Structure 1
Amino acid sequence: MSMWKRNLIVCWFGMFVTGVGMSQIAPVLPLYIKHLGVDNADSVAQFSGIAFGITFIVSAIFSPIWGLAADRFGRKPMLLRASLGMAIVISCMGFAPNVYVLIALRLLQGTITGYSTACTTLIATQTDKEHAGYALGTLSTASIAGALLGPTIGGFIAESMGLQSSFFVTGGLMLVAFITTALFVKESFHREDKKTLSIKEVWSSVPEKSLTLTLFLTFFILTVALYSVEPIITVYVTQLSKSASHVALLAGMTFSASGLANIIAAPRLGKLSDRIGAQKVILVALIAAGLLFIPQAFVQNPWQLMGLRFLLGLAAGGLIPSVNILVKKITPDALTGRVFGFNMSAGYLGTFAGSVLGGQVAAWFGIRDVFFITSILLLINAGWVYFKVYKKLSLNGREDNGRLKEIRN
């Protein structure tokens, strides 16, 4: 097996487990906080919001820092640091004596994260350009599937094994990711810049500043859209169900539908990006995803919603991989970790903002309006990508037989 394939397999598993670890707490968090001695319903909701959101906010701050460390010391050391650190911290959450220790551990989790950034950088720099789209497309399914399936996995473990077990199981899986990374990931790392560059110096070295900013903003809007419905899916399924006996199962299947479709579609759309250009794939995928959110507001039963969520997952398979492919192709190798770190920060902020947006829109206007607003966001983003990415690249002659030319120093 070639080195890039072996790295891809190990990184996929690690990113999937990381995605599960970041999101599995969502369905069990209120119950666990109550278990820790918080009885007032308003206080439970308040602490739940803080504990859930703080990880993503802190991750957004530290992601560029770990991206810099990856460029300086190599990507494999960052993978080992993040996987072992998360294994310890997530396992410790199961022993938290009170809600304040839990929140502190969630903050620490956000501080030591960076596994996804290092994985993306490793695959982007160690994979030949003929297979870059496929590799990054496949890799993107790990974090998306982990994040989407995490709540279902966490809820199942908590129900069948106990609340604390969800932390122990996830921590154990992160330990497995650490061991497999140490044994099987290979990296040919040569540090190109010998001095530490400031953020201003890094930015001045980026060859395509306008395009890079557009991709950051696009990634932010994508994650806002993809996670805006996460807080309201269970409530929506409850409204659509005639029987309340299987709501948890139906909600879990609805969450899983888009993740499964994403796993199927992303590698194939990544290969397509290699052939015709990532800017074409992302434009079509944005339009398709934006349109697919509209009928979700009119479904009459959970099965219709599940089917539409599956179709949405197929379209979403062309979104995040295309952003990563474009970022990789316009970024010099010496800056890849830092640029991907900033891009990941945009994603973490989008995850947090999407969760907040979905909950607030549902509370003020209604659940169905969440789908309309998300659709509008994606279609506006499609227009933005058309003028700032697709049209610009076409006008400047940067397409060569449907593929982007590499812009490197």
Structure 2
Amino acid sequence: MESWKVNLISVWFGCFFTGLAISQILPFLPLYVSQLGVTSHEALSMWSGLTFSVTFLVSAIVSPMWGSLADRKGRKLMLLRASLGMAVAILLQAFATNVWQLFFLRAVMGLTSGYIPNAMALVASQAPRERSGWALSTLSTAQISGVIGGPLLGGFLADHVGLRAVFFITALLLTVSFLVTLFLIKEGGRPNVSRGERLSGKAVFASLPYPGLVISLFVTTMVIQMCNGSIGPILALFIKSMAPDSTNIAFLSGMIAAVPGVSALISAPRLGRLGDRIGAHRILLATLFCAMVMFFAMSFVTSPLQLGILRFLLGFADGAMLPAVQTLLLKYSSDRVTGRIFGYNQSFMYLGNVAGPLIGACVSAMAGFRWVFVATAIVVLINLIQLALMLRKRARVPAR
């Protein structure tokens, strides 16, 4: 088997365990904050939001730095750093005795993050260009699988072995990622980018043939994550408003939250392969349009079943959007700055993770649940128009 395929299989398992480890803590994080002595409803809401968001905020700040280091020192080293660093940070969270310690350790967790973007950059740099869309889409199914299974496993473990024990199990899973990376991944030649040759941020963009389009793709990544996150704060409450007599709101909410991941698993490799044939830009524009239509349609649903069906259909688009963006970023950047570009893109992804829930909560408070879906659709529409214009401009303007 070709070495890049062996690496793809190896980092797939690494990304799966990483996604599983991170997502299985999130469902019970407010319960853990409460266990650490935060009692009032207002304080519990505030600390739950802060401990959740600080990881993404710190990650957004440091991702370009890790991307730059990956270009100079190699991506395998960054994968080892991220998996071991997060394992230690999560293990220490099991020993937190107050919420300030948890907040600090969640910030450290953000500082050590970066396994998945570095795995993406490794696969992107090794896969043949004509198969990069399929390779990145296949790798994205690992994170999707982990994010689907994580909350289910985390909830089960929290109920049966206790909250603190979940941190030990999560650290163990990340240690497995570390060992998979250490023994199975072969990077090949080291990057030929020394510290002295390291480009400044301005020089990185000056080296790109279409810097405006690359920035537009960063914004698209942020919008994709923002739209995925905007529904989170209101999903359970919206379902309850449609089915007030239901006795299993939590189960319904969990199912409807997870169902896009199932369809994304189905669509990601297939649409990635199609993108290799017809162009990733066509796949990206088509899936953004489909997502916009689905969000508009969700604002009119009258039952949880209708919402679940539309979210399942949304997942088919979700599975292709981020891999298509990454494929285009690979196409429009050189090997010398791939790590930096993927690092910047990851920063925008984390910013979307932070902004999405905030926007959803604010729109819901001001205008009601259904307007969250409308506002999300409008954001996608604006981004779709802007990206289409940039792609059209790229087609007219030769690379410099």
Is this a same-fold pair by TM over 0.5?
A: yes
The equivalent of 2:224 in structure 1 is 222
Per the TM alignment, residue 242 of structure 1 is displaced from its structure 2 partner at its CA by 4.8
Aligned pairs for 1:8-407 (under 5 A) are: 8-147=8-147, 149-194=149-194, 195=196, 196-389=198-391, 391-396=392-397
With over 3 angstroms needed to count, the CA separation of the structure-2 counterparts of 1:231 and 1:144, relative to structure 1, is farther
Gap change, CA 1:382 and 1:18, over 3 Å in 2? same
Residue type of the partner of 2:207? S
Q: What does the per-residue CA deviation read over 1:306-360, in whole Å, with 9 as the maximum and x for residues that have no partner?
A: 1111100001122111100000011100110011000110000011100111112
**CA deviation vs aligned residue, 1:47-80 (integer Å, no higher than 9, x gap):** 1111010000000001111101111111011101
How far apart in 2 are the matches of 1:13 and 1:355?
29
1:24 deviates by: 3.4
Task: Report the Cα distance in structure 2 between the residues aligned to 1:371 and 1:335, rounded to whole angstroms.
Answer: 37
Instruction: Output the amino acid matched with 2:289.
Output: I
Distance 1:133 1:113 in 2: 24
Report the equivalent of 1:402: none
String of CA shifts for 1:139-173, please: whole Å, max 9, x gaps.
22333443455444433332333222332222211
Q: Structure 1: which 4+ aligned runs deviate by more than 4 Å?
A: none
* Structure 1 contact 149–255 (Cα < 8 Å) conserved: no
Q: Which runs of 5+ in 2 are unaligned?
A: none
CA distance in 2, matches of 1:155, 1:358: 24
Q: Is the 8 A contact 1:21 1:90 kept in 2?
A: no
Aligned to 1:403: none
- Cα distance in structure 2, aligned partners of 1:278 and 1:91: 40
Which of 13-22 and 50-59 deviates more? 13-22
SS of equivalent to 1:231: helix
**Secondary structure in structure 2 of the residue aligned to 1:250:** helix
The alpha-carbon deviation at position 365 of structure 1 amounts to: 1.5
1:265-310 deviations in whole A, cap 9, x for unaligned? 1111111110000111111100001001122222222222111111
State the SS of the aligned residue for 1:192: coil
CA distance in 1, matches of 2:126, 2:311: 34
1:145, 1:262 within 8 Å by CA — same for their partners in 2?
A: no
Which residue identity lines up with residue 327 of structure 1 in the other structure?
A: L
CA distance in 2: counterparts of 1:125 and 1:268, whole angstroms: 21
Q: What SS does the aligned partner of 2:129 have? A: coil
Q: Deviation at 1:247?
A: 1.9
Kept in 1: contact 2:22–2:170 (CA 8 A): no
Q: TM-score under structure 1 normalisation? A: 0.92
5+ residue gaps, structure 1, are: 398-406
TM-score for both structures, normalised by structure 2: 0.94
Q: Secondary structure at the match of 1:317?
A: helix
Distance 2:324 2:389 in 1: 16
Deviates more, 1:96-105 or 1:182-191: 182-191
Pairwise CA RMSD: 1.8
Amino acid in structure 1 at the alignment position of 2:169: V
Aligned length: 398
Q: Output the amino acid matched with 1:228.
A: S
After superposition, give the CA deviation of every residue in 1:176-225 in whole Å (9 maximum; x if it has no partner): 11111111111123323332332233232223211111111111111111
- Cα gap change, 1:226/1:77 in structure 2, threshold over 3 Å: closer, same or farther? same
Q: What is the percentage of aligned positions where both structures have the same residue?
A: 43
Distance, in Å, in 2 between the alignment partners of 1:222 and 1:270 is 17
CA offset at residue 243 of structure 1?
A: 4.3
Structure 1 pair 393/144, CA: closer, same or farther in 2 (3 Å)? farther
Please tell me the residue identity of whatever aligns with 2:304.
P
Q: CA–CA distance in 1 between the matches of 2:373 and 2:167?
A: 32
Q: Does the aligned pair in 1 maintain the 2:17–2:176 contact within 8 Å? A: no
State the distance in 1 between where 2:26 and 2:241 align.
20
Is residue 219–residue 346 contact of structure 1 (8 Å, CA) maintained in 2? yes
Amino acid at match of 2:188: S
CA 1:14–1:293: 2 relative to 1, 3 Å = same
Cα distance, 1:370 vs structure 2: 0.8
The CA distance in 2 between the partners of 1:16 and 1:392, in whole Å, is 38
2: CA distance, partners of 1:190 / 1:46: 45
Matched residues in 1 for 2:353 and 2:144: separation?
Answer: 11
Decide whether the 8 Å contact of 2:79 with 2:119 is kept in 1: yes
Q: Residue 120 of structure 2 aligns to which amino acid in structure 1?
A: T
